Structure 1
Amino acid sequence: MQKPEDRTHRDLGLTRARFLTGAACAGLAVAVLPAGAAGAAEARKAAEASRAAEARPGLRHRGVVYTVGEGGTPATAFSTARMRRDIRAIRDRLHADTVDVTGDGVERLTATAAEAAERGLRIWLQPTLGDVPEQDILDHLAETGRFAEGLRRQGAAVELSVGCEFWLFVPGIVPGADVFERIRNLQEGTVDPVAMQRRLDRFTERAAAVGRSVFHGPLSYAAAQEDEVDWRLFDIVGIDYYSCFPDRTSYVRELRRYRRWGKPLAVTEFGTCAYVGAPETAGMGWDVVDHGKQPEEIKGHLVRSERTQAAYLTQLLDVFSSVGLHAAMAFEFVTPDAPHRPGDPLHDLDMASYSITRTVQDHPFDPASDWHWEPKEAFHALARRYALEQRRDAAHGEAAAGPA
């Protein structure tokens, strides 16, 4: 069994849903800042901007999350050659115009961002170093941000996110030596929510200041849905979104509350897993693997359903398009440490993955095996929708230009 201290960034990312669920159960979710805090004039501007955005249907930018972590084994470690092929596929096969480059390691982040810029993609660059001292996290952000600024000055379309859900990844906001202790403390109700919010606010302000000091383009942050964030610090409101409602109206109503600051709204993550019932888990779909078994096993008797995953993503895209979001990034392109094992539902770890592609090993159960990805139904569904939005953009551009 993999020890907590040996877990990869991919594992830490999966634990964020558990963290948020624990926080909600402990009564730690808090209300967002009122728009009126910035004054009546800004409140009026916020309302006007929100109405204007909803009057313009369509997604302004369409993307996918691409994680650049170290990988759980040497076989799944970051590969520059593989990354370059993936970036081309994101542009040419998925028809995305944006790639959310996230993870840790400045070299991995910058190499991927540079490749995306070379391919003409818009870049949402989000360093997410965690479980190290605060200053190390801020230094990692600064170095990544300086590179982003260099790309921006060269003409690339770049937006910088200062991080993702700091209350989980940054030590000291929630007591605990690592993410697992922090989650446990939250679930046991031993955390002072007022003190936690104060520490979160302080670090968020520091991160925003660092981002501003090195990067002069649009700045954002990826928050959980119930996070309290002073969005006056940022240019774009960023939300990791995993709600599931039976009707479109409920989605629209929920998304509308994030428009009160009068700023563009980006959904920095959305998605679900490929089994029946996964969307109803509200972000906990990954929590179906028994890591105590060797090899790891899927718990329960899940029914694989790529159609379920694809339907949920397209349902959300319908909603996002109708309310005129600034951007939406599907989570995620590939999860190499969760291989698909056809005909073996007990060990088909891809069912617990949010990836829109399935990882297939040349030699199943061999951690040293090479692998490749294949598109799931969700990939094809996104590609169709993104291509449609692409054609709409082109048509609007031609109409705006007028006759030659």
Structure 2
Amino acid sequence: MQDEGISRARFLAAGLAGAAGALLPAGSAAAKERWGLSYRGVCYEVTDGETAETGWNATRMRTDIRAIKDRLHADSVSVFGDGAGRLKATATEAAERGLHVWLQPRLADRPPHEILDHLAETGRHAERLRRQGARVHLSVGCEFVLFVPGIVPGADAVERIRNLMSGNYDPQQMMRRLTAFIAQAAKVGRSVFHGPLTYGAAEGDEVDWRLFDLVSVNYYSYFQDPARHVRELRKYQRRHKPVVVSEFGSCTYKGAPQKGGMGWDVVDYDKPKPEIKGHLVRSERTQAAYLTGLLDVFEAMGLYAAMTYNFVTPDAPHRRDPRYDLDMAGYSIVKTIWGTENDPTSHWHWQPKEAFHALARHYARPHRRLDPA
């Protein structure tokens, strides 16, 4: 039944366009015929890995960026993570390959002033690329509630998620602190970067979008009826600014799309060897169908850009034994194959999943680009 529900998301283009038009405000710019995304791409993480072998590597990065351009047929890449050097090198490589670049520093669990300094350094590099003729947007960060200490209780993102889910926080205090930090980040971003600016908001975040040129949301909702996605997303179009789905994705097992942004929470890390909880059934088809179904919705609505989360997760290897197939709990569109069962070694590599091939076919379709004025 779950696979049948996902297949319903793949409406014919005309039907989706009709649903989008019927649900958008009459006479609005978004209600006019604007078929197709301006930018279609993938998120690429540069944060260092858990081991020396799975950490960021310039040679691997260049190979990955070539694959994103030439094999995935993406025209855009969201470069995110921490480490200004890694961010700069990856963004430069992507720009030189002719890709449009979304650059998003994501320093986590550090004092707020360090996070803002990290943003400033990254933003200055984005401005240099822009002046050299690169197509680049700067995102000042992502879901600050999770990554910036002091907005909600918790020593790290996982602990903050648990506190949010259990109600162990003050909602009014959280919103005051979040709003203040977003404003600080926007001010820093504007001071160093003079191109289009945005922020990767979580669904439901209250953001003063007057501070930014584009409205961006990390979107992990699941509905069998595509019209429900249109209803959820149209509120972002009411800002009369280009709308970006800065992240959308699914893990790789049956039922994963229904779990949305918490699909990863199926691994028992207390075991001697991290183990999948329960009896999940691996399904690359489920992941692929969810991604392409959402792309049909985004294109029918004429959104500005959409970035699939995520390209590769080196520390979540695919294994034949389902109990230890950590790739099932990952959002990546390629599966990591370690050199040995328990050790990545320097010879680990990735292989495309069904999602990679489905996206490649989708991204290879002709489309027109509508850049903000």
Deviates more, 1:202-211 or 1:363-372: 363-372
Partner of 2:28: 48
Given candidates 96, 99, 117, the residue that maps to 1:139 is: 117
Instruction: Please tell me whether residue 380 in structure 1 is matched to residue 357 in structure 2.
Output: yes
Q: How many residues align?
A: 346
Point out 4+ residue stretches in structure 1 off by more than 4 angstroms.
none
CA distance in 2, matches of 1:179, 1:222: 16
CA distance in 1, matches of 2:140, 2:101: 14
Partner of 2:12: none
Q: For 1:338, what is the secondary structure of its paired residue?
A: coil
Q: CA deviation at 1:180?
A: 3.9
Instruction: Please tell me whether residue 355 in structure 1 is matched to residue 307 in structure 2.
Output: no
1:392 to 1:229, Cα distance in 2 relative to 1, 3 A:
closer
Q: Which amino acid aligns with 2:331?
A: Y
Q: CA deviation at 1:192?
A: 1.4
Instruction: Please tell me whether residue 111 in structure 1 is matched to residue 89 in structure 2.
Output: yes
Q: Which has the higher helix share?
A: 1
CA RMSD of aligned residues (A): 1.7
Q: CA deviation at 1:46?
A: 11
Residues 13-24 of structure 1 aligned to structure 2 (within 5 Å): none
Instruction: Kindly indicate whether the alpha-carbon contact (under 8 Å) linking 1:225 and 1:239 is maintained by their aligned counterparts in 2.
Output: yes
Partner of 1:329: 307
CA distance in 2, matches of 1:276, 1:355: 15
Q: CA deviation at 1:362?
A: 1.8
1:47 to 1:175, Cα distance in 2 relative to 1, 3 A:
farther
Partner of 2:217: 239
Q: Which amino acid aligns with 1:299?
A: K
CA distance in 2, matches of 1:249, 1:146: 41
CA distance in 2, matches of 1:244, 1:181: 25
Residues 2-401 of structure 1 aligned to structure 2 (within 5 Å): 48-52=28-32, 55-342=33-320, 344-368=321-345, 370-388=347-365, 391-393=366-368
Q: CA deviation at 1:75?
A: 0.9
Instruction: Kindly indicate whether the alpha-carbon contact (under 8 Å) linking 1:275 and 1:351 is maintained by their aligned counterparts in 2.
Output: yes
TM-score, normalised to structure 2's length? Answer: 0.90
Q: CA deviation at 1:239?
A: 0.4
Q: For 1:238, what is the secondary structure of its paired residue?
A: strand
TM-score, normalised to structure 1's length? Answer: 0.83
CA offsets, 1:43-96, max 9 Å, x none? Answer: xx99633223xx211111001000001101111010000000000000000000
Instruction: Kindly indicate whether the alpha-carbon contact (under 8 Å) linking 1:46 and 1:260 is maintained by their aligned counterparts in 2.
Output: no
CA distance in 2, matches of 1:117, 1:190: 43
Unaligned runs of 5+ in 2: 1-24
Q: For 1:339, what is the secondary structure of its paired residue?
A: coil
Q: For 1:282, what is the secondary structure of its paired residue?
A: helix
Unaligned runs of 5+ in 1: 1-44, 397-404
CA distance in 2, matches of 1:126, 1:88: 20
Identity of aligned residues (%): 65
Q: Which amino acid aligns with 2:227?
A: T
CA distance in 2, matches of 1:241, 1:297: 27
1:373 to 1:207, Cα distance in 2 relative to 1, 3 A:
same
CA distance in 2, matches of 1:178, 1:373: 29
CA distance in 2, matches of 1:155, 1:386: 24
Q: CA deviation at 1:164?
A: 0.3
Q: For 1:74, what is the secondary structure of its paired residue?
A: coil
